[in-house]
């Protein structure tokens, strides 16, 4: 089963790519509905090959489970140019999501068609297993929340804010 997202956001692709690799920025995508806290010392930036265990809590209080974030980066291209893909193919370790046999979450960023200062964000979550049909509606709702949070937070991801002369 899959959940797909595709939309444009108000930041350049480099800023979006940095945000995907920031454990802090990624955790903000779920707030305040879900807190994502590292179980070990977390790098300041995710790198391809990292395995980072996290604890998830609903509303910051109720344990939801633990997840292993396993990072793999790749680059490809499409008709509009460079596409960078962040893949989390880790596994849910505990909680309801641990009933899934498949977890493959990929996020792709590229320049928006016709505007290199905006980002085309594409996301695909693939889940599988006997529990997938029961868990899909809740995950779908959470991914809609994520999309709204991504749109709201993207303008804050600029690495070098523009300076305005007075």
Query: Distances in Å between the alpha carbon of 78 and those of 86, 116, 122, 125?
Result: 16, 14, 13, 20
Helix (H, G, I), strand (E, B) or coil at 41: coil
Q: Do 8 and 101 form a contact (C-beta atoms < 8 A)?
A: no
Q: What is the pLDDT of residue 31?
A: 84
Q: What is the pLDDT of residue 162?
A: 54
Per-residue pLDDT 10s for the chain (166 aa) are: 999 999 999 999 999 999 999 998 988 998 888 899 888 887 789 999 999 999 999 988 899 999 999 999 999 998 888 999 999 998 999 999 999 999 999 999 999 999 999 999 999 999 999 999 999 999 999 999 999 999 999 999 986 555 555 4
- Predicted TM-score (pTM) of the model is 0.90
Q: What is the pLDDT of residue 80?
A: 81
User: 131-140: which pairs have CB atoms within 8 A and are 24 or more residues apart?
Assistant: 131/96, 131/99, 131/100, 132/1, 132/100, 132/101, 132/102, 133/1, 135/96, 135/97, 135/99, 135/100, 136/1, 136/3, 139/3, 140/3
Q: Return d(Cα 118, Cα 13) in angstroms, integer.
A: 7
Eight-class DSSP state of 49: T
Q: Return d(Cα 32, Cα 90) in angstroms, integer.
A: 23
Q: What is the homologous superfamily of the domain 2-155 according to CATH?
A: START domain (3.30.530.20)
* Domain ranges (residues) in the chain: 2-155
Q: What is the pLDDT of residue 160?
A: 56
Q: Return d(Cα 51, Cα 34) in angstroms, integer.
A: 20
Q: What is the pLDDT of residue 32?
A: 87
Helix (H) or strand (E) holding 85: strand 81-88
């Amino acid at each position: 089963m899959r959940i797909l997202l595709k939309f444009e956001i108000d930041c350049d692709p480099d800023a979006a790519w940095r945000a995907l690799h920031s454990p802090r920025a990624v955790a903000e995508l779920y707030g305040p509905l879900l807190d994502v806290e590292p179980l070990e010392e977390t790098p300041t930036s995710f790198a391809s090959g990292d395995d980072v265990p996290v604890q998830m809590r609903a509303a910051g209080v109720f344990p939801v489970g633990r997840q292993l974030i396993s990072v793999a980066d790749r680059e490809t291209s499409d008709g509009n140019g460079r596409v960078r893909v962040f893949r989390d193919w880790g596994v849910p370790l505990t909680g309801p999501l641990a009933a899934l046999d498949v977890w493959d979450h990929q996020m792709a960023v590229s320049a928006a068609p016709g505007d290199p200062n905006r980002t085309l964000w594409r996301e695909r979550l693939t889940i599988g297993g006997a529990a997938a049909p029961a868990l899909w509606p809740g995950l779908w709702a959470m991914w809609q929340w994520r999309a709204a949070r991504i749109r709201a937070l993207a303008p804050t991801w600029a690495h070098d804010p523009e300076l305005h002369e007075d």
